[in-house]
Structure 1
Amino acid sequence: MTSPYYLAVDGGGTNTRARLTDAAGRVVGEGLSGSSNLTLGVETAGPAIAAAGTAALEAAGLPRSAAVQIHAGLGLAGANVPAFAEAIRGFGFGYRSLRVASDAVAACLGAHGGRDGAILILGTGSQGLALVGGSSTTVGGWGFALSDDASGAILGRAALRAALLSFDALAPSSDLTRTILAGFGDDPAQAVLWARTATPRDYGNFAPLVFERAGRDGVADALIAEAARSVAAMLDRLVFLGAPRIALMGGLAAPYRPFLPALYDDVLVEAEGDAMDGALMLARMAEADAGAGR
């Protein structure tokens, strides 16, 4: 039988990464393409995933026909929606076997080497995920409008709100609120116009200002304390779900860490790997599924 290859794919809203390894685990090729977030539709995500996989094959010096030797693991944004995951499975990549999971599941697998555990992503958005006994449960992550507590977008919006409240003398002013207002020419009306088209990422740009002033700005300290309570609530939920270890991930993971109570020291761990490592585990699972006739 021809020696198998294993394709790990990490697909999100910005780009799709693919990594091809041989049976010994050596990386033989990598590829990159555009967005494969499944919410964009299979007609967009499918070709992006296929292109990244083809690029990895070409980088390895293998023909496209070698796709039939590949066991693929796809960690994709949007795959937590069963209908989207089922649709991408039927795209017709031509791989020997295929396993699809959300990008968060892939990240959790990578973070803990396939063992039971959880992740809490703290970036522009936020979401927790516990993977225990083969079952995954999400915590939060329902988007900027309704959820994403402690995310950069929510913290940034809270900072902007605090600035406007201070302008109206309804809350304390500080160096943080004055700096934010100055960015709008000290005119709340300009902030209102800006907010009409602002994205979560735009709001998230204010979050670093809050952390930069921690310990020397009362408003910043109050905002961080409130956000840290939200982080703690999500951690508590992940522990309740049975996660023996939790890895903080995302751009705000390190900034939040000093503000979390010491009681979490025993459960918080450094991630062992990333979503690509998790997707490779999915590829190995796909091979096992194929061997078992599933």
Structure 2
Amino acid sequence: MGDFLYMGVDGGGTGCRARLTNAAGDRLGEGRGGPANIRLGLDVSWAAILAACDQALAQAGLDRDALSRTHVGLGLAGICRAEDERAVEAGAPVRCAGVAARNDAHTACLGAFDGADGAILIAGTGSIGYALVGGIGRPVGGWGFEVSDEGSGAHLGREAARAALRGHDGLAPHTPFTLHVLTRLGGDPAAVVAWAGTAKPADYGTLAPLTLDFAAASDPVATQLVEVAAGQLTAHVRRLVDLGAPKVCLMGGLAPVIEPWMAPWARRLLVPARGDALDGGLHLARAAARHPAERAA
């Protein structure tokens, strides 16, 4: 396999990244493309993937013809079933030495633990846990803002908006925090309802840093909301460990500020990531190259 190249790809809803290495693991190039969530359509996803791959190849002084000797490992948002994986792999519009596709949580976990067993817990605008044990991946949560994503920035922000309305109505304390949130969202319940009518998870997520700031200043309502969110993430850690993960890597924009609020026992299980999702894609590509007759873990 000395002549083969390996490409790791991390494709999400806002962008796509690719990393190219040789058989020795030397990094040859990196590139970026557009959104690659497969829910946007496989043609859109593959266009973004190839744009990122083209940039990575160009940095190495290569063109797209080199993909014929490149094993590609794809970690893509939107992959939920084995049928999705097969559709992505079969839908490659160019000839590659091999293509293996998994969801982006799987490759993020592979990268975080350098291919070993472990789990990740992503706390950003959304949240998701993912355990990888004995080559088998198990998601925990992450089913979307409407029904899941507890402990995320969007979930915390929505609770902040609700607390502001409860405070206004006299159903709960109206503290400096709830007054600030109400003012920020327009100053009265009608304005909050109008805002919520078009608000996306990212919009709710903008209230999370505010909530954490007021919690740090000991506002009782903000403190309770942050304690609940941290407890929800702690519950994710417990489940990931119950699934067999020896350690958990806490990731995402909310991670460094919410971690101090989590239970001490859970914090003791948290470790830094050894690598990123692109490293995970490269792990996937190499595993598929070693076992071409199997669907690599």
Note whether the superposition's TM-score is higher than 0.5: yes
- Is contact 1:99-1:285 (8 Å) kept? no
Instruction: Measure, in 2, the Cα distance between the counterparts of 1:68 and 1:106.
Output: 22
Asked whether the 8 Å contact 2:125–2:154 carries over to 1, the reply is yes
Q: Cα deviation per residue 1:246-277 (whole Å; 9 max; x = unaligned)?
A: 00000111111111111124311111111011
Matched with 1:20 is 20
1:1-39: per-residue Cα shift (whole Å, max 9, x none)? 771111010101011111111122111122211111011
- Once the two structures are superposed, what CA deviation does each residue of 1:23-66 show, in whole Å capped at 9, x if it has no partner? 22111122211111011111211121122212221221113211
Distance 1:103 1:292, change over 3 A: closer
- What fraction of aligned residue pairs are identical, expressed as a percent? 48
Alpha carbons of 1:55 and 1:168: their partners in 2 closer, same or farther (altered >3 Å)? same
Q: Deviations 1:106-131 (Å, cap 9, x if unpaired)?
A: 11011111110000110100000000
1:40-189 aligned at under 5 Å gives the runs 40-92=40-92, 93-189=94-190
Letter in 2 for 1:245: K
Amino acid at match of 2:41: G
Give the whole-Å Cα distance in 2 for the aligned partners of 1:190 and 1:213.
22
Q: 1:248 aligns with which of 243, 247, 250?
A: 250
Match of 1:274 among 266, 273, 276: 276
Name structure 1 gaps, 5 residues minimum.
none
Q: 1:293 to 1:104 in 2, by over 3 A?
A: closer
Query: Where does 1:201-240 land on structure 2 (aligned, <5 Å)?
Result: 201-215=202-216, 216-240=218-242
Contact 2:7–2:72 (Cα < 8 Å) also in 1: yes
How far does the alpha carbon of each residue in 1:148-186 deviate from its partner, in whole angstroms, 9 at most, with x for none?
001111100000100011001110011111111111342
Alignment CA distance shift 1:124-1:293 (3 Å): closer
Instruction: Quote the Cα distance in structure 2 between the aligned partners of 1:272 and 1:211.
Output: 28
- The alignment's TM-score, normalised by the length of structure 1, stands at 0.96
| Amino acid of the structure 2 residue aligned with 1:138 | P
2:6·2:21 contact (CA, 8 Å) conserved in 1? yes
Deviation at 1:291, TM superposition (A): 7.8
Q: What secondary structure does 2:179 align onto?
A: helix
Distance across 2 between alignment mates of 1:269 and 1:256: 15
The answer as to whether partners of 1:2 and 1:69 remain within 8 angstroms in 2 is: no
Look up the SS of the partner of 1:149 in the other structure: coil
TM-score between the two structures when normalised by the length of structure 2: 0.95
Count of residues in correspondence between the two structures = 294
Aligned ranges 1:275-290 → 2 under 5 Å: 275-290=277-292
- The secondary structure found in structure 2 opposite 1:3 is coil
Q: Tell me how far 1:292 sits from its aligned partner.
A: 7.6
Deviation at 1:217, TM superposition (A): 0.4
- Conservation of the 8 A alpha-carbon contact between 2:259 and 2:267: no
